Amino acid sequence: MERVSAARVEQAKILLDRALGGSKLLTEAVSLEPYGYDRSEAAPVTPDIVVRAKSIQDIEKTLAIAQETGVPVTPRSGGSGKTGGAVPSAGGIVLCTQGMQNILEINPNDMLAVVEPGVILSDFHHAVEREGLFYPPDPNSAAYCCLGGNLAENAGGPRAFKYGVTRDYVLGCETVLMGGQPLQLGKRTVKGVTGYDLTALMVGSEGTLGVLTKATLKLIAKPAQVHTILAQFPSVRVAGSAVSAFVRRGLVPRCLELLDAGALEALRTFNLPLDADAQALLILEVDGEPNQCDADLEQLGNACDEVGATSVWVAQSESQRDRLWAARRDLSPAIRKLSAHKLSEDVVVPRSRIPDLLDEVARISEKTTVRTLAYGHAGDGNLHVNFLWNHDHEIPNVNLAIEALFREVIAMHGTLSGEHGIGILKAPYLHLEQSPELIALQKQIKQVFDPHNLLNPGKIFPTSGTHRAC
């Protein structure tokens, strides 16, 4: 994207300094650089200004000045996004809400919480669990992603199979529109059908419609007991058949994570009880009342044995559970070490098509000679398919492999992204899934919220070029 002009930036700097004071602004190259990228492979773009917001008023003033000066604004929270959503494609202002970290209310009677966008997800989990309550959305980046980014991306994670995704827990939110207008969306009640559901629209809008400044989140009772299982298999096909067996028996573990042989190679770098000859693995977790939980555990274990698991291991203590999940949460960085470059997609297929998806990935890898591996939230049909390469001359084949994957996923009635969003990286492929009419309608919605296309431009909607312009 074309960068905003230096003259506009200078004008915005003067006005922002006057409105917010210098302490909330970063303008030196060295301090701007870390705000130019996220945790994706999107090429970094250094912003011209970073605003470190501390209040809704800071956000209102920033968005008013940005509109007045015509300078683009990219919202940012934890910077852990996987599709370049927080990368300021056209330069300009990064509006960081990470400093708004207050949990304003945890209400056990109404079973809700009110939070600011910079609250780190794992801090929020601990806070509500201390009250005997539970907030299920649990992306594997929980230790450093923030609730603002979770809402903007409609984050999922391992517990979505049983409990759903972020959108299922957002009752309402406060947002500021481009130009500085604040808006209260949604409600504090569990039910409510007044007008269009703009809360649902805002959740998952990837910071392109408004800047989130507060959220009212639904909580549920904390499950009394949790068991975690690690089951190992001789092949990914056998592991896939275990998943089908659970579904047939009506078993709904809260987590159902699958790793193929390539992902298992990365997991072996952690100190876990892994069989030398295992070629696939499932991490299963059940929760609930003790009797039900024990019964589910037994049934899941039996189903794994029946389809041919090589071993089934049950975590015996909280520390064993933590060790297993720590390894799972660090899997993505561990995979990154297997080659010079990697790209991770998060496609979804109807869960019955998981074995077909795995077969297709193997076929695509063979045809394009690009190394692949897959892991992820198999219970939801959501797999992170990774493409690994070492040399630039492999890039055209990587692009072919990615497009082939997307086409196969769409042919299986799947979707391009289960939880990471479209951002920059998947924008060139949106047309594979959505009709021109649907894309045009969404662009019209964007125009209503942001007529001058200044809020997080360059995201979601198709641009020319291939994946990451690589």
Could you write out the DSSP letters of every residue in 123-140? HHHHHHHHTTEE-----T
Residue in 378, 336, 348, 332 with CA at minimum distance from that of residue 233: 378
User: Phi then psi for 381, rounded to 5 degrees?
Assistant: 75, 15
Total binding residues toward ligand FAD, as defined by CB under 6 A: 36
395 and 470 Cβ atoms separated by less than 8 Å: yes
Residue with tokens 């021109």: 436
Q: For ligand FAD, give the closer residue by CB, 246 or 449.
A: 449
Annotate each residue in 350-389 with x if it binds ligand FAD (CB under 6 A) or - if it does not, as one string. Answer: ----------------------------------------
| Token reading at 276 | 């030398």
Q: For ligand FAD, give the closer residue by CB, 148 or 301.
A: 148
Binding residue for ligand FAD, selected from 26, 56, 212, 282, defined by CB under 6 A: 212
Residue 82 contacts ligand FAD per CB under 6 A = yes
343 and 429 Cβ atoms separated by less than 8 Å: no
Pairing relation of β-strands 170-176 and 25-26?
unpaired
Task: Identify the three-state secondary structure at position 445.
Answer: helix
Residue 404 contacts ligand FAD per CB under 6 A = no
Q: For ligand FAD, give the closer residue by CB, 56 or 401.
A: 56
What is the rounded distance in angstroms from the CA atom of residue 380 to the CA atom of residue 243? 11
Binding residue for ligand FAD, selected from 72, 92, 204, 207, defined by CB under 6 A: 207
DSSP conformational letter for 392: G
Q: For ligand FAD, give the closer residue by CB, 82 or 467.
A: 82
Residue 67 contacts ligand FAD per CB under 6 A = no
Residue 342 contacts ligand FAD per CB under 6 A = no
Residue 85 contacts ligand FAD per CB under 6 A = yes
Taking the alpha carbons of 133, 139, 141, 147 in that order, is the dihedral positive or negative? negative
Annotate each residue in 150-179 with x if it binds ligand FAD (CB under 6 A) or - if it does not, as one string. Answer: x-xx-xxx----------------------
Edge-to-edge strand ranges of the sheet holding 25-26: 25-26, 49-52, 93-96, 73-76
Minimum distance from residue 399 beta carbon to ligand FAD (Å): 23
Residue 50 contacts ligand FAD per CB under 6 A = no
- Angle, helix 236-248 to helix 354-368, in steps of 10 degrees: 160
Q: What is the CA radius of gyration of the chain?
A: 22
Residue 450 contacts ligand FAD per CB under 6 A = no
Residue 456 contacts ligand FAD per CB under 6 A = yes
Residue 117 contacts ligand FAD per CB under 6 A = yes
Minimum distance from residue 400 beta carbon to ligand FAD (Å): 26
Residue 310 contacts ligand FAD per CB under 6 A = no
What is the rounded distance in angstroms from the CA atom of residue 87 to the CA atom of residue 187? 31
- Interface residues toward ligand FAD, by CB under 6 A: 38-39, 74-82, 85-86, 97, 117, 139-141, 145-146, 148-150, 152-153, 155-157, 206-207, 211-212, 332, 419-420, 456
